[in-house]
Structure 1
């Protein structure tokens, strides 16, 4: 019977094909160190000199390999040892290598290798050494004709166990560009470690690269590592002072939006979406699992942690402010570059990145092609970063290519893409809605004041004064007349503009009510329909009846939640309903404010908010008491919401009054987050909201309510705290 007789050069051929480049080769050896339970790995590169061809050493401090391990495992290509044993020797790590081809990585780096291993054997230690010249595999000799010598020595004691691999006759020119690429690859290899029990540090020693070396190795290696190792980390202080430690990429904990959650084995998502730049309150997000098609493989349970960024100048300024950085020191281009350097969604297994996912130029989710269709709504590849953690190959069916360049394109990978895309569609809509309400990218400006300056015709007047005295008078009279006419026209325009704004606000309120009303009505309608359709099966003694009874309470809860939402929405609209309310009356301001606080008492207690009153107990107001109370409820309720988003232990709302002429000024301030300068122009517009679940009607309605009683509502821009002021007529 015939047998395959592989030639020795097959080993070199496999090595060149399976390991895509020198960076991938080093990463494979780093993963081997992890599988050996080593707490760290040390990589040292010695560049070639006039007397030496250079070398690379990779040292770990794991359990090492015995003589038999080297003979029966390391020298056996495609061994199934790690496939049979998915956990490391200590049982604390899931092994990364399972193909049995990682040893070819050293062949990709240089022609010769010296492997030295110290392992514990019974009550003693064993030191084994192997020397190998990969050049012998380039001959026409058959593979089983090649002999490899291995030495072993028994030791009574040893300082450390582990493996040291020394590679000489380097096949790669490690110039500055190549070293920078290796540093980036190592930084992206691992997620920031949080579990000390699986701590694994990667060290890269470049001290042998100096400016005195011959070209192209004449650069300061330690300085290059420092610079490459800190790119994108200026936003967070380094966690260590070690000069050789590789630090994973981290663009601070800040972002504009944050998605965290998990897909279960079936593909059902449970998590939260937080609008960080808004009220920073997590919103529950649940998605049902799409059904598995015939022949489709599950991609197993998945953990998702994604950060999203807005890239408008004002958005980046706010982001940098939350990071504690001075935006002006970076400029818009450098700031965007900093974010771009850290974008990319990486796929991780047991804490290690699967190349090339997560690199800035690897858009494996095809986000840019999606964004082209709708750039204002869709997220681009340069606006998102984070991690997707998948389980083992057996549990996920996500198989790494033998070349270590990505995952095989099977139905499990297609399902992974589908699941992530589905959840992105959901959060893109929420982001879009928030941006619309927050007025991002919308910059309405009023030019009336500028027009008034121009209407004085000051520049023309100055030019006239340069003429002879006898020519000035008629021209100045004409200019004054024209200026007065312009001013009068501007007054009329401004009055008409105010009327239009008031009507537009009301129109926006109606539009928003229709939008939000449908949001509440949809689950009511859907649940009511389900109750009617499934009523015949409620008492049925069957599997179907069991399922119906399980979900029946959820229909009732959905109807209750929807009715509460509608009730709240209608209640907030009452002040501008236009219904007949009789004549205005005289009432005590303090009584009205006290009644308002009584309505909010439970909420104030729940969020530990203290109210300080400084209101004249004899202050008499004239108007509709409901208008003042409606405005007060909206303002105080907003204050409670934003105070609850902070960790301030002394949450306080202060209410004070004073009288100026025929109007009373009631100020309501709180020591919560300040309103951003950019948002101050739009906070009273209907639909504007920075709350995750806000309908954006509160302040618009409060302002209209005050106007209904011939008062007004404005933001005090000179106050140290966030302060709204209600002007209200006093009783004459």
Structure 2
């Protein structure tokens, strides 16, 4: 026997699709509202009454769009998975056209109407297109259980002379009753918030207004609007990405008038190459991030960033609790395409940019959703490489999306480093001070939590060993400070940073099942304590020759210099004067290697065609000192030099911001100085006049 077979969808398939394709009620309502946007509606009104009582509750979505006629409802709205919008979008893009209100369709999959099934059992739809009769459709999802196959279920449809959309009115009205769930205060607030963020908080669409009505207004109490708290943002950023560059970068620090010790600061930069590191350690390669390779057009990012330190807030925010609650509920970085939000980026639990994970490793620098309100803008026409998932929960996570996300993260990291400069001053004059006692207690608490939360014995032992080393290093640092302050280190900085990392680590152990975050954080703790401890350990200073130190440094990095095709201009070997200084040679050697590494990275990143590093010895850099001079032919420092020696401040993607700070502490511990002369202060070859210039100045050893 042979012949053709055909799929026969069961009637209950509608129920299954409605429940599985649409994640929750918020998405269901958003899909219906987006349908109104695609219909070129100027307004859409959402009404939700008695929703805590499913049997009498009612949800109404009514828009003023182009509406549907009998044929559209029969052949498009009633056709599941239709590609009508997709074809319409492709045609509009190919013909370079938009709707009368300048829109391109947001929907493509033909599944938005399943949102009505997610919300209730009975649907009453009225729609009217211009110069057409009114069409009425009634659907009772419960009846679908009485039929075997989907094609057997009768749907009542009536075409009539307009009774609701009378005169010149057009649009669609959907009334949903017999609600499928009992709504709570929290669920209503979630929906309200989602609808409130459907339009960008920075550039709301005046041509698309969402009205919200409910007889449970008391449930919405305390939900502030964006414009009410925007003035409390201390930091702001506007960034434009194009192809492989940050085309324009505009950051500003805007202290309130009450913060009289601080000044406004603005940073404007252009044409910054976007890269991501591939590999590990010193062999890491820089890979360009290029949006144009994946049909992603220009991207705009806007951020408002807040500081929730209670002492800082006391200077300018009357309702501190209200601000915190608002940010807790509404904070995040959202994505908008043609001004309409792509769900669910920015939602709680969706750390799509990895902000929370990064904050565990660098709590004092990294942003989190609780302190930022942000928007990422895409153009519908030029961002075709980003494809929305069938279930409407964001984009398909393909290579295009990964590139898009990497570009956003790169830009945000620039802002984080910029903000760190101003945050350090903010804390200095107005923040809380930290004491040393909580550090040891914090480490002990972490050990207890590890014993309870980490069940892997080998991992437990590894973490305990790391924490013991950290504890010993910290004890040593603390003891030295109690005895003497001659090293020039700032213990308050050490304590401040360690406390923050410890706090985040405690949170991570409670929340994270994956051990990688915990390991990374403990490694960061170890780097901080080991870096400081290595400087102030009682290592014996001996008479060392700066020429030998320079030669050893070059020998240790010769492979990297060869790989990156960097020429060394040796102006120290023929130096005739005394080059002996009293020092701990391994510390100076490590400092020099770190400085050379910085020059290698930045000349590579800024695409200098013939990369060069100058090394010399000078008597003129600082009077009375013997100095090592290091310069490169790159673009120079991107952060003010008075800031780069401060801890955890760096403009290098992925950098901890400790290198130059520790170099400064090394020089202080030797009675020397780390200085950054202005270009032209020293007599150098012409090609080094605009690059980075660093001087390590030592007191000359007595012969």
TM-score (norm 2): 0.55
Q: Any idea what SS the aligned residue of 2:383 has?
A: helix
User: Is the contact made by 1:261 and 1:303 (CA closer than 8 Å) also made in structure 2?
Assistant: yes
Match for 2:48 among 22, 45, 57? 45
Aligned position for 2:178: 169
Q: What corresponds to 2:84 in structure 1?
A: 81
- Would the alpha carbon gap of residues 437 and 521 (structure 1) be closer, same or farther in structure 2, given more than 3 Å must change? farther
Note if contact 1:266-1:300 (Cα within 8 Å) is conserved in structure 2.
no
CA distance in 2, matches of 1:168, 1:274: 50
For 2:309, the equivalent position in structure 1 comes to: 312
1:166–1:8 Cα change, 3 Å: same
Partner in structure 2 of residue 381 of structure 1: 369
Structure 1 counterpart of 2:251: 273
2:415 is the alignment partner of 1:427: yes
Partner of 2:102: 92
Distance 1:382 1:45, change over 3 A: closer
Q: Deviations over 1:182-222 (max 9, x none)?
A: 222222222247476x5212122213xxxxxxxxxxxxx23
Q: 2: distance between equivalents of 1:153 and 1:292?
A: 57
Which residue in 1 is equivalent to 2:212?
204
Number of corresponding residues: 442
Contact preservation (8 Å) 1:316, 1:335: no
2:13 counterpart residue number = 10
Between the aligned partners of 1:255 and 1:362, the Cα distance in structure 2 is 23
Question: What is the distance in 2 between the residues matched to 1:303 and 1:293?
Answer: 15
- Residues 289 and 406 in structure 2, CA contact (< 8 A), matched pair in contact too: no
Residues 309-329 of structure 1 show CA distances to partners (whole Å, capped at 9, x for unaligned) of 2332343345xx3xxx43xx5
Aligned in 2, Cα 1:444/1:97: closer, same or farther, shift over 3 Å?
A: closer
Assess if the C-alpha contact under 8 Å between 1:287 and 1:423 holds in 2: no
CA deviation profile, 1:514-554 (whole Å, cap 9, x unmatched)? 9xx999999999999957679xxxxxxxxxxxxxxxxxxxx
Contact map agreement 2:235 2:252 (CA 8 A) in 1: yes
1:363-392: CA deviations, max 9, x gaps? Answer: 221212212222223333322221112233
Matches of 1:381 and 1:170 in 2, distance apart? 33
Mapped to 1, the partners of 2:603 and 2:16 lie a distance apart of 66
5+ residue gaps, structure 1, are 208-220, 238-250, 446-496, 502-513, 535-557, 570-694, 698-732
Where 1:180 maps in the other structure, the secondary structure is: helix
* 1:320-469 superposed matches below 5 A: 321=316, 325-326=317-318, 330=320, 335-392=323-380, 395-436=383-424, 440=428
- What corresponds to 2:140 in structure 1? 133
Equivalent residue of 1:356, what SS?
Answer: coil
Structure 1 residue 84 displacement after superposition: 1.3
Residue 301 of structure 1 is matched in structure 2 by 298
Aligned CA RMSD, in angstroms, stands at 4.5
> Which deviations, in whole Å up to 9, do the C-alpha atoms of 1:138-165 show, x marking residues without a partner?
3442222333232112459625111111
Q: Does 1:186 align with 2:189?
A: no
CA shift at 1:442, angstroms? Answer: 8.5
Alignment of 1:106-121 (within 5 A): 106-121=116-131
Q: Match of 2:428, SS?
A: coil
Partner Cα separation in structure 2 for residue 252 and residue 175 of structure 1: 29
Between structure 1 and structure 2, the one with the greater Rg is: 1
8 Å CA contact 1:266–1:289 kept in 2: the answer is yes
Query: Where does residue 115 of structure 2 map in the other structure?
Result: 105
- Which residue number corresponds to residue 58 of structure 2? 55
State how 1:561-572 maps to structure 2 within 5 Å. none
Secondary structure of the residue aligned to 1:337 is helix
In the aligned structure 2, how far is the partner of 1:16 from the partner of 1:383?
Answer: 34
Q: Partner of 2:404: helix, strand, or coil?
A: helix
> Which of 392-401 and 368-377 deviates more?
392-401
Give the equivalent residue in structure 2 for 1:145.
152
Deviation at 1:354, TM superposition (A): 2.0
Contact 2:250 2:266 in 1 (8 A): no
Report the Cα offset of residue 301 of structure 1.
2.5
Alpha-carbon separation, structure 2, partners of 1:223 and 1:409: 39
What secondary structure sits across from 1:78 in the alignment? Answer: coil
SS in 1 for 2:113: helix
Residue 288 of structure 1 aligns with which residue? 273
CA separation of 1:388 and 1:126: change in aligned 2, threshold 3 A: same
Q: TM-score, normalised by structure 1?
A: 0.53
- Give secondary structure in 2 for the equivalent of 1:129: strand
Partner SS, residue 403 of structure 1 = coil
| 8 Å CA contact 1:127, 1:152 repeated in 2 | yes
Distance 1:531 1:52 in 2: 73
- Distance in 2 of aligned mates of 1:443 and 1:46: 46
Give unpaired runs (5+ residues) of structure 2: 93-97, 256-262, 276-287, 434-484, 490-591, 613-631, 643-674, 678-703
Measure the CA separation in 1 of the matches of 2:633 and 2:130.
67
Q: 1:553-632 counterparts in 2 under 5 A? A: none
Query: Residue 108 of structure 1: CA displacement?
Result: 1.3
SS of the residue 1:71 aligns to: helix
CA distance in structure 2 between the partners assigned to 1:345 and 1:399 by the alignment: 19
- Looking at structure 1, the residues matched to 358 and 396 of structure 2 have their Cα atoms a distance apart, in angstroms, of 23
Whole-Å separation in 1 of the counterparts to 2:332 and 2:217: 27
Shift of 1:298: 5.1
Q: Give 1:91 deviation, angstroms.
A: 5.5
1:231 corresponding residue in structure 2: 224
CA distance, structure 2, for counterparts of residue 527 and residue 367 of structure 1: 24
Task: Output the CA distance in 1 between the equivalents of 2:377 and 2:54.
Answer: 47
Q: Residues 93 and 374 from structure 1, CA distance in 2 versus in 1: closer, same or farther, beyond 3 angstroms?
A: same
Indicate the SS of the match to 1:120.
Answer: coil
* SS of structure 2 residue aligned to 1:365: coil
Q: Please report how far the alpha carbon of residue 292 of structure 1 lies from its aligned counterpart in structure 2 after TM superposition.
A: 5.8
Q: Distance in 2 between matches of 1:70 and 1:18?
A: 21
Q: Distance in 2 between matches of 1:396 and 1:410?
A: 13
Q: Distance in 2 between matches of 1:559 and 1:266?
A: 23
Is contact 1:303-1:389 (8 Å) kept? yes
